[in-house]
Structure 1
Amino acid sequence: MELRWRVSHLPTAWMSLLRWRLCKVMAAIVPKTAAPWVDFCSVDKYYYIVRADLSCYMRSTNFNKGEDLNVFSLHPSCGNGDHYLAHEDDLFYIIKGTSYRHVSDMSKGDDAVVYSLHPSCQGGDHYLSAFGKFYIIYQSRGVYHRTKNMATYEDGKEYSLHNDCKDGLYYFGVKDYYYFVKPLNEWGVQYSRCTNFNTNERGETFSFHPSVIGFLPGGLGITHGPSAGVWNYIKTIRNDSQDHITWTDKVSVKQGFDKEKMLPVENNWNISPSVSGVPGRLATLLTKSQFFLSTSYGGFSVNTDRENWNSLSVDGETVSILLDPGQEVYVWQYSLNLGSEAVLFCRDLKFEAPTECPTENPLLPAKH
């Protein structure tokens, strides 16, 4: 095991051995505008959440009750879409730039046909289908376009979005309803249903099941708690002599990802073997992506590619420290937490005098 460590020579004073610094952050679901690789869609009795960044998607028959949660792999030809929607013709529509393709199964990508988007259907913030028509929402303008055909703009018309329908994080539709995901509030993560975006007719609100929230970008920050970088006390090194000494010994520390703590995330999911050959792999990807997010969404905005995500081990590293007479040094290790739980034990060690708890973040910043 390769550890990163440094020594700081500072004045000696008493402090609690369990002192640690926790960065206070918030948690929220990442909106479509900040997560172009994520989208919702639905058709017939099924509802879908596409995580193109993780090359998979979730299917459910009820987001509110968390029923029939199945996770499938996303075929490479269906990845990297700007928007995903499903129509009553049992086809999935994947929009990229100024064109779209439709397929019957996103895990296979067969029978694909590509069309150009009509100019009046281009540049939308959200796309969905309901009532046999396609809807393109221009959220910043507070309007939406409705048409029978996105290639020809047949029967195309523009409408104003009702005020109650303007703040959706994601939009999707089924045969007889529109849905939109609401920003996090005192009632948690919710989604609304209505039959008319222009009037918010028959508006009704539902809560997402926790097992569904965990699959959303930013969801682990809500179900488990916001991310934080924590320096954990390991041991004390002390020179009780009147001479300068070089202390040499092994420091035993945990290193890697504690997959067992995150396995419960997958408990209510039926995961296709093509998504994950081993239990916990999807939970690992979700946790890693959570840490990458900004603090606004319960992440920590760090790149953890250099850390060990494959396993958790306890190893020893031999270190040598020059100590002054009577000097006392505390050994700290850096970890990343979800809420109060340490789940990723990093390779960084630091040696400080008792008056100091490390405060720096040794990991590389995420490049969003």
Structure 2
Amino acid sequence: MAGIAPRALSPGTDIFANRHGCFVVRSDLGCFVWASDSHAPASVEVRSLHPACQGGEHYVGDAAPGSSVCILRGDVVHRATDLSTAPSPDPLPLHAVCCGGDHYAAGGGRFFVIFLARGVVLSVADLTTGAEAKEMPLVPAALHGLYYYASAEGLLAFLDVDGERGLCSHLFSNADCHEVLPVHPDVTSFFPGGLALVHGPAFGTWECVKLIQNDTDVPLPGSHDITRKVGHIQEKLANWTDSTASSPRAADLAVALLQAQFSLPAAYGGVGLQTEQEEWEAVAEEDESLRVILQPRQKLYWWQYVLGLGHKPLLFCRSLKVTRSPSPPTHVPLPRADVRPPEI
């Protein structure tokens, strides 16, 4: 089973929860999703991330029982009442004991700073003052989580991929892991690599779109019409709704998520290829003529490069290749990706 890409391959991706629900941020895509519950949501909404809220290293719900969000950049914190609006213009410095955390979380009136190398969780009342600091050991099972967050009640959780249940939340304390809950597919799909967990890993392959042959013993000149598909099959990837007029269009979000998925390494369900230069409009058929002289008993195979998820083709590329062999080409016609997901 493919995995979810960690923060190092998708900077600006984070998850947090508060009394209003669960939020998954994709700063690289300029949007976030809100779910009433990450495990069995009544609804999942896509919302636009305000430009001034993009580029955060960590996104943390406020420890107070309100709706504000803390955006951490370097050693400072910005507060926003909502990720769809601009944060406060004047950031506050993090207290020295709170700097350099691998992950940040908030819940139950406390902030949590997770230091994986030291294997500890620092609990504070305020990130800027370090007040009421308490350090606790991190249970060994929680050392290899992909993303961390805390429930509104203050119970910590980390996300990891289970071979049978897919992406799961592992609820834990400083003493033990308490419960494992599968993350709903509509929430999973929004994480980098999540589409592969829900729909199957990405693939790229050459498909034969035309075979022409000369069954005679003499050369055979002629013109042959080739019909091929070009473009993107607009498949519904998840049951997301648009919450506002400024929310990204479902079609645009689907394209951005697919481009990001295809760019990821195979370990995260991708193929490591750039696809932004391909035709991403709705799939259409194109005709092309080939004039050729077929030699006696000769066969020619026309191939087209196709990308998809699982077993379903989703993107018909413009790359064509003609061979005399029934074996598909081995050349990959698209450039390698640098694993930075596209913006929408």
Counterpart in the other structure of 1:178: 156
Matched to 1:215, the amino acid is F
Contact 1:234–1:333 (Cα < 8 Å) also in 2: yes
* CA-to-aligned-CA distance 1:234-287 (integer Å, 9 cap, x gap): 11122345555554433110001111xx22x2434345332234x422222211
- Give the Cα separation in 1 of the matches to 2:330 and 2:226: 21
Deviation of 1:334 (Å): 0.8
Matched to 1:45, the amino acid is H
CA gap 1:221/1:149 in 2 versus in 1, 3 angstroms? same
Gaps of 5+ in 2: 340-344
* SS of equivalent to 1:283: helix
- Give the Cα separation in 1 of the matches to 2:277 and 2:246: 26
Matches within 5 A, 1:140-289: 140-176=117-153, 177-194=155-172, 196=173, 198-200=174-176, 203-244=178-219, 247-259=222-234, 262-263=235-236, 265-277=237-249, 279-289=250-260
Counterpart in the other structure of 1:30: 5
Contact 1:128–1:136 (Cα < 8 Å) also in 2: yes
- Give the Cα separation in 2 of the matches to 1:224 and 1:86: 30
Counterpart in the other structure of 1:118: 95
Counterpart in the other structure of 1:15: none
- Give the Cα separation in 2 of the matches to 1:236 and 1:205: 52
- Give the Cα separation in 1 of the matches to 2:130 and 2:256: 39
Matched to 2:257, the amino acid is L
* SS of equivalent to 2:97: helix
* SS of equivalent to 1:135: strand
Counterpart in the other structure of 1:20: none
Deviation of 1:355 (Å): 3.9
Contact 1:221–1:227 (Cα < 8 Å) also in 2: yes
Contact 2:185–2:238 (Cα < 8 Å) also in 1: no
Contact 1:70–1:272 (Cα < 8 Å) also in 2: no
Contact 2:242–2:248 (Cα < 8 Å) also in 1: no
TM-score by length of 2: 0.91
- Give the Cα separation in 2 of the matches to 1:246 and 1:77: 63
Contact 1:129–1:172 (Cα < 8 Å) also in 2: yes
- Give the Cα separation in 1 of the matches to 2:132 and 2:121: 14
TM-score by length of 1: 0.85
* CA-to-aligned-CA distance 1:190-223 (integer Å, 9 cap, x gap): 10223x2x2136x111111112111221111011
Deviation of 1:356 (Å): 2.3
Contact 1:28–1:184 (Cα < 8 Å) also in 2: no
Gaps of 5+ in 1: 1-25
Counterpart in the other structure of 1:9: none
- Give the Cα separation in 2 of the matches to 1:138 and 1:298: 28
Matched to 2:152, the amino acid is K
Counterpart in the other structure of 1:353: 324
2:101 aligned with 1:129: no
Higher RCO (C-alpha under 8 Å, 6+ residues apart): 1
Matches within 5 A, 1:84-95: 84-87=59-62, 88=64, 89-95=66-72
Counterpart in the other structure of 1:18: none
Matched to 2:264, the amino acid is L
Contact 1:241–1:325 (Cα < 8 Å) also in 2: yes
CA gap 1:110/1:356 in 2 versus in 1, 3 angstroms? closer
- Give the Cα separation in 2 of the matches to 1:101 and 1:318: 59
Contact 1:168–1:183 (Cα < 8 Å) also in 2: no
* Identical amino acids, percent of aligned pairs: 32
Matches within 5 A, 1:48-127: 48-87=23-62, 88=64, 89-127=66-104
Contact 2:52–2:87 (Cα < 8 Å) also in 1: no
Matched to 1:40, the amino acid is I
The CA RMSD measured in Å over matched residues stands at 1.9
- Give the Cα separation in 2 of the matches to 1:105 and 1:30: 26
- Give the Cα separation in 1 of the matches to 2:38 and 2:48: 19
Counterpart in the other structure of 2:262: 291
